[in-house]
Amino acid sequence: MPQEATRPALEIVVFPMLSDNYGFLIHDPAGGETAVVDPAEAAPALAACAAHGWQLTHILNTHHHGDHVGGNLELKSRTGCKIVGPAYDRERIPGLDLAVDEASGADFGGRHASVFFVPGHTRGHIAYWFAEDYALFCGDTLFSLGCGRLFEGTPAQMWSSLLKLRALPDDTRIYCAHEYTQSNARFALTAEPENAALKAKAEKVATERAAGRFTIPSTLGAEKACNPFLRADQPDLRRRFGGPGVSDADVLGAIRAAKDRF
């Protein structure tokens, strides 16, 4: 379990945007700073801040897609917030003030967040890991029971990226950017139909969605037990999607291709 924090924990608020996107407010109660992660649009982010009485000070972008940066410029204009994003893709982040990479990390709320370079979905994707709070903001690299489409990267890049995230503690909270969990569960059950943990999670997800509840955050421990994209090196998935002599990355690629056709 997480060690006792030396300062008040970050307050994290999940709010919906567009049809299936999530935004996340991260608030430091000690210093009063508030960040929004991947704002697709400005209005929901401002409404979430207002509901909590918080003033937006930062935007943390994981990658350049419009449903992650669409609100950048309006939010910056209206609040004067600082925009932080991937140095690997700096030319495609609107209004970028501070480009960060694995060497620099990112500072927010008196904390130093690790930055992971996780290409695959895009060529410059990053994730933010707040170790003290066991919180990972991973954009479209890792989803609950899924991973992002390989729009600009290769299976080898995505597998390497997922291994970086899989190495974090099991009680890491996974804040991914879309409510895809129920549809991901349907595919995952075709990939690993005998996985008892997956069956149980799929049932829980169905109950949560029927009640209108968010399935995010998930935990890394649950994903390691259930998410086929994190389990591409497991024997059952290798038999179904690869075979002897096939690399883990190629198995991952085969699983992703099957999901694309699903």
Q: Determine the angle formed by the axes of helices 248-261 and 181-191, rounding to 10 degrees.
A: 120
pLDDT, position 243: 78
Active site residue 63: yes
Q: Is the pLDDT of residue 242 over 90?
A: no
What confidence tens digit (pLDDT) does each residue in 205-233 have?
Answer: 999 999 999 999 999 999 999 999 999 99
Tokens of 186: 């349907």
Choice among 58, 63, 64, 125 that is catalytic: 63
**Domains, the chain, ordered by start:** 11-101+110-261 (3.60.15.10)
Choice among 38, 89, 133, 140 that is catalytic: 140
Tokens of 170: 């099991």
Q: Model pTM?
A: 0.95
Active site residue 125: no
On average, the pLDDT of the chain sits at 95
Q: How many CB atoms lie within 10 A of CB 28?
A: 21
Choice among 67, 133, 248, 250 that is catalytic: 67
Q: Is the pLDDT of residue 5 over 70?
A: no
What confidence tens digit (pLDDT) does each residue in 137-160 have?
Answer: 999 999 999 999 999 999 999 999
Active site residue 64: no
Active site residue 27: no
pLDDT, position 37: 98
pLDDT, position 10: 96
Closest CA to 174 of 129, 111, 209: 129
Active site residue 178: yes
